[in-house]
Amino acid sequence: MNIHTVDSTPFEGQKPGTSVLRKRVTVFRQARYLENFIQALFNAIGGGEGKTLVVGCDGRFYNQEAIQIIIRMAAAQGVARLLVGKSGLLSTPAASNLIRKHKADGGIILSASHNPGGPDGDFGIKFNGPNGGPASEQVSAAIYHETGRIRAYRILEADDIALGKPAEITLDRTRIHIINPVTDYADLMETLFDFPRIRGMIEAGMFNICFDAMHAITGPYAYEILERRLGALPGTVINATPLSDFGGGHPDPNLTYAHELVEIMNRPTAPDLGAASDGDGDRNMILGKRFFVTPSDSIAILAANAHLVPGYRSGLAGVARSMPTSQALDRVAARFGIPCFETPTGWKFFGNLLDSGKITLCGEESFGSGSDHLREKDGVWAVLFWLNILAVRRQPVEQIVREHWAAFGRNFYTRHDYEQVESGIAAQMMEELRDRITTLSGRKIGDYKVAYGDDFSYQDPVDQSVTEHQGLRLGFTDGSRIVFRLSGTGTEGATLRIYIEKYIADPARHGEDTQEALKDLIEIANKLSGVLTRTGRGGPTVIT
């Protein structure tokens, strides 16, 4: 077979963000754009010769064309084995699991996670290493470096591979395994959770679930696990068919974008548990009847109840949360006498902690939670964890959360996002805020006294690498916090995120409305940053 070496020149800006390369579909479809990045990736990892790689997509527009190009390029680099999901599909957690299970050298995941899809939507490529987790900062930097010096890429001349059913195909020197994308993942879940007990609760007719797959990748996973293996009613999984444009929706499981589920959970006849996942299946949202569980509370509650779940019964080595995530998890860790690590935003920072056995559970405020069972956050896993707790405790979701607050205190928490802000304006705002915030220590603002103001930097406790400029923190002496950061996953302009948190121990105040309870801190954040005047907005684009 013919391997072509095609001359190329670098594209500017193939720089990995929070979650590797994410751009508009129109950008990825430019001639040589995808090919350059893939060749840079192979160059950065020492070539493909003899390697085993997993390749999977979340089903979005341009996946099918892209995966064929990647298969031909992998063959041209001498990759020995390629594990590909049927029809190219794999959720991000399922891909992570396959990399680990088959001891692959890594995986290429085609996804833009929760960003919209379609011809004018977003596309992305992520590289995961042999531990199944997102490439480290060092590997990401090496890929970016290679994109800047690319002169040619190599590709095999071949017809498209039929990916529609499980098969084994040889392409030049590469063996391609097309596998059922769901089975291995569902089997892994059965080893962690008490399926008979959950099934018992569901079959007793006492428990209904609504899972919104948002026309994204988790449809087939949730159907197999919830409806087939756990006996949930037919129709439990809604929007279950993955569509390349996610049905025109925004596949992000939050109160704004998962409005269909929210509406179902607000009905008088609402199911007992509502859940949703995102484009590539790593995020989750948990709802009770007319009740929203914040992701920061969710991970704290999973940690506090982990002893009820077979996979975690032997105890947690430690836990971790991303810096902007609320400190509810810290309180659980303190009670249990286990360490709680604070990492920069992005799942890759949990990798070393998980690999070295320092932590068992981890989570982010951005609807992500996971554990050492793989190296990505995992949407369906979080839903099953909740189901397992519910099957043991036999209480409504809301009661479990309220009892948690009563036991640990409540960390009121909100995130205000300002999307598509002009990049220059956002950068200037952050720069001026940085200068301001770092001088405020010891000062009083309203009723609050500033304990510290800094630009968060993190030293990895395993490899000692230092990551700087991860968000501006303003901490108060009562434990309240305001955090400002710019998103690293947007594809247009800048997204400014403001995270606000206040701790209240008194159970009599736990019923307060979040925005109300945080009102004075929100005002401080707005005033300090001048965000409304600078952006000319009346308020945030999305509040979670």
Instruction: Please choose which of Zn ion, ligand G1P, none residue 330 contacts, taking the beta carbon within 5 to 8 angstroms, the exact cut-off set by kind.
Output: none
Stretch that binds ligand G1P, among 3-11, 344-352, 404-412, 443-451 (CB under 6 A): 344-352
- Whole-angstrom Cα distance, residue 133 to residue 353? 12
DSSP state of 228: I
Side-chain-side CA neighbours of 535 within 13 Å: the count stands at: 27
Stretch that binds ligand G1P, among 69-77, 210-218, 339-347, 458-466 (CB under 6 A): 339-347
Q: Give yes or no for residue 278 binding Zn ion (CB under 5 A).
A: yes
CB neighbour class for 300 (10 Å; exposed up to 12, middle 13-18, buried from 19): buried
Stretch that binds ligand G1P, among 25-33, 334-342, 351-359, 485-493 (CB under 6 A): 485-493
- Whole-angstrom Cα distance, residue 181 to residue 503? 42
Strand 444-445 vs strand 21-24: parallel, antiparallel, or unpaired? unpaired
- Confirm whether 423 is a catalytic residue: no
Strand 52-57 vs strand 542-543: parallel, antiparallel, or unpaired? unpaired
One-letter amino acid at 349 equals: F
Q: Which of 122, 212, 282, 330 binds Zn ion (CB under 5 A)?
A: 282
Stretch that binds ligand G1P, among 160-168, 169-177, 231-239, 345-353 (CB under 6 A): 345-353
Q: Decide: 150 and 40 in contact? Cβ < 8 Å.
A: yes
Residues near 31 by beta carbon (within 8 Å), at least 6 away in sequence: none
- The separation between CA 469 and the C-alpha centre of its own chain, rounded to angstroms, equals 21
In order of 56, 233, 243, the CA distances from 269 in angstroms are 38, 15, 29
CB neighbour class for 126 (10 Å; exposed up to 12, middle 13-18, buried from 19): buried
Q: Decide: 370 and 360 in contact? Cβ < 8 Å.
A: no
Stretch that binds ligand G1P, among 48-56, 330-338, 362-370, 438-446 (CB under 6 A): 362-370
Give the x/- contact pattern for ligand G1P in 367-406, rule: CB under 6 A: -x--------------------------------------
Q: Give yes or no for residue 327 binding ligand G1P (CB under 6 A).
A: no
In order of 299, 315, 348, 357, 509, the CA distances from 352 in angstroms are 19, 19, 8, 8, 39
- Whole-angstrom Cα distance, residue 18 to residue 486? 10
Q: Give yes or no for residue 488 binding ligand G1P (CB under 6 A).
A: yes
Q: Quick one: 360 or 487, whose CB is closer to ligand G1P?
A: 487
Q: Quick one: 218 or 480, whose CB is closer to Zn ion?
A: 218
Give the x/- contact pattern for Zn ion in 101-120, rule: CB under 5 A: ------------x-------
Q: Count CB-CB contacts under 10 A for residue 431.
A: 10
Q: Which of 35, 122, 252, 280 binds Zn ion (CB under 5 A)?
A: 280
Residue of this chain nearest to ligand G1P (CB atom): 487
Residue of this chain nearest to Zn ion (CB atom): 113
Q: Give yes or no for residue 18 binding ligand G1P (CB under 6 A).
A: yes
- Whole-angstrom Cα distance, residue 53 to residue 80? 8
From 19, 111, 113, 277, the catalytic residue: 113
> Smallest distance, Å, CB 229 to Zn ion?
23
- Count residues near ligand G1P (CB under 6 A): 14
Q: Which of 63, 487, 529, 535 binds ligand G1P (CB under 6 A)?
A: 487
Instruction: Please choose which of ligand G1P, Zn ion, none residue 280 contacts, taking the beta carbon within 5 to 8 angstroms, the exact cut-off set by kind.
Output: Zn ion
Integer-rounded Cα Rg, in Å, for the chain is 23
Stretch that binds ligand G1P, among 87-95, 161-169, 183-191, 343-351 (CB under 6 A): 343-351
Instruction: Dig out the tokens for 171 from the structure.
Output: 């392409």
- Which residue matches tokens 């527009």? 61
Q: Give yes or no for residue 296 binding ligand G1P (CB under 6 A).
A: no
- Whole-angstrom Cα distance, residue 498 to residue 430? 11
> Smallest distance, Å, CB 322 to ligand G1P?
6
Strand 319-322 vs strand 340-343: parallel, antiparallel, or unpaired? parallel
Instruction: Please choose which of ligand G1P, Zn ion, none residue 39 contacts, taking the beta carbon within 5 to 8 angstroms, the exact cut-off set by kind.
Output: none
Q: Give yes or no for residue 493 binding ligand G1P (CB under 6 A).
A: no
Q: Which of 14, 19, 218, 360 binds ligand G1P (CB under 6 A)?
A: 19
Q: Give yes or no for residue 252 binding Zn ion (CB under 5 A).
A: no
Q: Residue numbers of the site for Zn ion (CB under 5 A)?
A: 113, 278, 280, 282
Active site residues: 113
Q: Residue numbers of the site for ligand G1P (CB under 6 A)?
A: 18-19, 113, 322, 345-347, 364, 366, 368, 487-489, 497
